[in-house]
Amino acid sequence: MKVLPRILLILGAVAMAGAIGVLAYGGFEVWRQYLALDAIRSREFANPLGLMVGGAALALLAGLLAGYALAVPRNPKGTAPPPATPTSDTTLR
């Protein structure tokens, strides 16, 4: 069971890096729009709303994966095998 938390933690880190990249690009687009509006230019821009929502969703996914990976017990207690049942009729009654 040690492999699952590590995989989830790695996936969470990758998702967080992706979220940071997507949110940074969305913030850059918003900054470009602010500069264009400040200079009173009319220019076509992509709507950054989808980028910001997508980045926030990636950040949420990263947090969930990392939280689940940290919540998985490190040393799970194994269950004992069921007691063997006698095959002959030697049990006391």
Reply yes or no on whether the pLDDT at 84 is more than 70. Answer: no
Query: Sorting pLDDT into bands at 50, 70 and 90, what band is 19?
Result: very high
Cβ(33)–Cβ(49) under 8 Å?
A: no
Domain residue ranges of the chain, discontinuous segments joined by +: 3-71
DSSP code per residue over 42-81: ------THHHHHHHHHHHHHHHHHHHHHHHS-SSPPPPPP
Give the model confidence (pLDDT) of 24-55 as tens digits: 998 888 888 888 777 776 667 667 888 889 99
Rounded to whole angstroms, the Cα distance separating 1 from 3 reads 6
Q: What is the predicted pLDDT for the residue at 4? A: 83
Dihedral (Cα; 5, 6, 12, 15), 10-degree rounding: -140
Provide the 3-class DSSP secondary structure of residue 37.
helix
Mean pLDDT, the chain, rounded, equals 80
